[in-house]
Structure 1
Amino acid sequence: MGLNRLIPMQPVASMPASVEFYEKLGFSVENRNDEWGWAMLRCGDHRLMVDQSINLHPGIPRTSVLYLYPENLQDFHKRARENGLDIPEVDDTFYDMTEFRIEDPDGNRLWIGQAR
């Protein structure tokens, strides 16, 4: 038994606001359903779903962490800032990564880095 692929689904309060945020990180909309409040986003070969219907179910955790590995961290960092996101400085970690951390509009955490 194996998997063909794994696509994270982020719980969001507003799919349109989340789409706008992730577009500033270089994602594009592959599929979108405004009636459901759901969208499939794509960045290269990678996909991410955002879904506001998850918030309709009480007791389900609302935050997660995605670790993104861009091809070039410095370029990715620069582009995100140029696109208007409030991005902290890049930092070296004790676990041999260079990274920065941000949150999407719903508090889902994004750690973005590359090996030193």
Structure 2
Amino acid sequence: MKRENPVSHIIPMQPVRHLPRAIAFYEQLGFAVEDRRDDWGWAKLRWGDCRMMLDQSINVNPDAPRGAVLYLYPDDIDAFHAQARANGLDVPALDTTFYGMREFRIDDPDGNRLWIGQAKTA
């Protein structure tokens, strides 16, 4: 099993129903808003070296609710994507998102969602 392309960090993404209410809660807990996009229903929070994301879009389909998402950040998305395929995983093609990431999404055997991406270079 190849493990040559490391993930540099992982950020959990919590599904929320009401972004402002969730942000207020986590600020009371001690987090600060690092980035916020109300038009997306998304925010990234920080507390020291720890980060988490809040996202309203994860559970837009009430027939298929989802728990938290883990966002993995490899140093080289192309190499990581190729490695996942070489290791036998059925992964979709890389996609360039409207928010500037090259990523793919995959579920683990228990249905937990992983988003794996890297910021798009110019």
TM-score normalised over the length of structure 1: 0.51
Q: 2:10 aligns with which of 6, 11, 29?
A: 6
Q: 1:39 maps to which residue?
A: 43
Cα deviations across residues 54-90 of structure 1 (Å, max 9, x unaligned)? 12134132469xxxxxxxxxxxxxxxxxxxxxxxxxx
Cα deviations across residues 11-31 of structure 1 (Å, max 9, x unaligned)? 000111100000011000000
Q: 1:52 aligns with which of 56, 59, 75?
A: 56
Q: 2:19 maps to which residue?
A: 15
More strand per residue: 2
Q: Between Structure 1 and Structure 2, how many residues are aligned? A: 64
In structure 2, C-alpha distance between the alignment counterparts of 1:12 and 1:26, rounded to whole Å? 18
Aligned residue identity for 2:65: I
In structure 1, C-alpha distance between the alignment counterparts of 2:7 and 2:67, rounded to whole Å? 25
Does the CA contact (< 8 Å) of 2:12 and 2:68 recur in 1?
A: no
RMSD value over aligned CA atoms? 1.6
Aligned residue identity for 2:19: M
Q: Specify every segment of 5 or more residues in structure 1 that has no aligned partner in the other structure, as ranges.
A: 65-116
In structure 2, C-alpha distance between the alignment counterparts of 1:60 and 1:18, rounded to whole Å? 18
46 and 2 in structure 1: CA distance in 2 versus 1, 3 angstrom threshold: same
Does the CA contact (< 8 Å) of 2:13 and 2:68 recur in 1?
A: no
Q: Specify every segment of 5 or more residues in structure 2 that has no aligned partner in the other structure, as ranges.
A: 70-122
Aligned residue identity for 2:49: D
Q: 2:77 maps to which residue?
A: none
Q: 1:28 maps to which residue?
A: 32
In structure 1, C-alpha distance between the alignment counterparts of 2:37 and 2:15, rounded to whole Å? 15
Aligned 1:76-95 pairs, distance under 5 A: none
> Percent same amino acid among aligned pairs?
50
4+ residue runs over 2 A deviation: 60-64
